[in-house]
Amino acid sequence: DRVVCLSTDKAAYPINAMGKSKAMMESIIYANARNGAGRTTICCTRYGNVMCSRGSVIPLFIDRIRKGEPLTVTDPNMTRFLMNLDEAVDLVQFAFEHANPGDLFIQKAPASTIGDLAEAVQEVFGRVGTQVIGTRHGEKLFETLMTREERLRAEDMGGYYRVACDSRDLNYDKFVVDGEVETQADESYTSHNTERLDVEGTIAKIKTAEYVQLALEGREHEAVQ
């Protein structure tokens, strides 16, 4: 009866292949809702970085520390949203329970700079230094979870935002409005303007990730032996 599709902050103003493909997925969901959704309610969640998911940076940092190698950072001033796996699952569950066709759900998430994240991981696992290697193709200085256009349709639901589907079609004669038309909010919801964690706050956040907890337990076990 309900389908929840998982998207990414990279789908907002996309500049790389992953973001563009996820943005197309979102567009198909919205088109389905506009064209008369049937028995199945299809909605979408949009994530920031799920800490320690496959290919993410924290496991890479921990691995380099264990090898005694410096942490490589593309730009220490970059910011990224941080959420753990439990929060990601909770967001999907919330979407299952509250979705209308075409809804987009976003968690209110904190963020940290990549420089502070590297510092936090070293505070927990050991200091090896940081090497700045420069921004790669397809990377942004900050990520966007909700665009300026979407913020106009956003409903604050406590720990989450619900962005209703834009139900307008291409028959512009139906949408004649007198006076000034507001098309976007003053700013997007980004990893630059959300709650910013300092190093201490980032340490507390990464310790909520099961991967980090298991890595710490493994280090303690090695120390005992």
Nearest to residue 81, comparing CAs of 55, 44, 106? 106
Query: Hey, is 37 helix, strand or coil?
Result: coil
Tokens found for residue 169: 């079609």
For the CA atoms of 150, 50, 108, 157, the dihedral, rounded to the nearest 10 degrees, stands at 80
Beta bridge partners of 83: 50
Residue ranges with strand state E in the chain: 2-8, 41-47, 49-50, 71-73, 79-83, 104-107, 111-113, 130-132, 144-146, 154-156, 160-163, 189-190
Residue 169 carries which side chain, given as an amino acid letter?
D
Nearest to residue 26, comparing CAs of 11, 9, 48, 10? 11
Active site residue 22: no
Q: CA 31 to CA 13: how far, in whole Å?
A: 19
Helix H or strand E segment including 15: none
* CA 19 to centroid of chain Cα atoms: 12
The residues annotated as belonging to the active site are 10
